[in-house]
Homo-oligomer: A and B are copies of this chain.
Amino acid sequence: MAGNSFGKIFKLTTFGESHGIAIGGIIDGCPAGLSLDFDAINTEMQRRKPGQSAIVTQRKEEDQIKFLSGIFEGKTTGTPIGFTIENTDQKSKDYSHIKDIYRPSHADFTYDKKYGIRDYRGGGRSSARETACRVVAGAIAKQLLQNLQITAYVSSVGEINLNKSYSEVDFSEIEKNPVRCPDPQMAKKMEEYIKSIKKQGDTVGGIITCVIKNMPVGLGDPVFDKLHAQLGKAMLSINAVKGFEFGSGFAGTAMKGSEHNDTINPDETTKSNYSGGIQGGISNGEDIYFNVAFKPVATIMQKQKTIDSKGNKAIAEGKGRHDPCVVPRAVPIVEAMAALVLADFWLLNKITKL
């Protein structure tokens, strides 16, 4: 109810502030009998982790997951999976420079007004640190959906666009460069651009494309819980996201029906796939693909005009180690959220018909 849970059947509830003792969560509704690959879970955590390359924040967070329940002899038991991740790098800092200041385009002002109280140590609950919990749950959801292939990559950084369809790129290139762009030349350009932006103490936005292959037919619920509506909500819930489009997306608005309609082949595939694998909110077996727009990170190493909590004029200036561009580290988060949505519908679909 208060916004800290995601999913209907495979349900994740998270807790934790960026600079508290720990963050963590409960995964409730994971079926019993799933053999967990803990290395695979940790690999996902490493992909999201700070400090993994020169173009991301140099903060040190070990992001060690401690599973507390719901797993016995390596298998899920059907009972809730509780887990925590300690905030090792967060202790005994000095927050006096941000304690009373509302940083522009951060959630400081809105949290203070909504709750009348705010954990001013870093982003608190509004920090993207919370997404570490999503990656844990998403990694388990992926294992539940082992036949599906969920792949996200960076398709744009600032004004540098990949400008290629997902079918034209080589997914095996994605993890070979720190930007996570499947085109090595483009990745290099993006990397250099991010470095130059970082030098300026500035930040930049970008776009992540996500593709789901080997989709079963029939996932998604009609009307309000359409598959793309849940995917859209999942993506828009990630920090810094400003937009979501699937299939033909915004460009599809300029097309005619006679161009856009995906005629159906005798083998039940479609000739084109402007629908993005979803019709009437339900998967049709074609590839699902969508774009997620991320704004430039709000924390910049430059002086900005703002006010403090008493309404006095003030100056905000970022300190410490922040991401100049969030998209490389957001790739596993996008995949995790997609996995959560799909796991939910995959389970629900088992009880849709007699």
Residues in chain A within 8 A of chain B (CB atoms): 1-6, 8-9, 11, 13-17, 20-26, 28-29, 31-34, 66, 68-70, 72, 75-82, 84, 102, 104-107, 109-111, 113-119, 124-126, 130, 156, 158-159, 197, 202-207, 217-218, 220-226, 228-230, 232-234, 236-237, 242-250, 252-266, 268, 270-271, 274-276, 279-284, 291, 293-300, 302, 304-307, 311-313, 347-354
Contacts and interface: CB of A to CB of B under 8 A. Distances in A.
A327 B307 CA distance: 41
A203 B254 contact: no
A260 B204 CA distance: 9
A218 B109 CA distance: 9
Contact of A225 (B20, B24, B229, B237): B237
Contacts of A109: 264, 268, 279, 284
A278 to B, nearest CB: 8
Most chain B CB atoms below 10 A, which of A202, A262, A351 = A351
Given A26-B4, A33-B115, A69 B253 contact: no
A186 to B, nearest CB: 15
A126 B220 CA distance: 12
Contacts of A262: 104-105
A241 to B, nearest CB: 8
Contact of A28 (B4, B291, B313): B4
A296 B257 CA distance: 5
A261 B298 contact: yes
Nearest to A298: B261
5 contacts: A77-B124, A107-B222, A109-B268, A114-B352, A232-B233
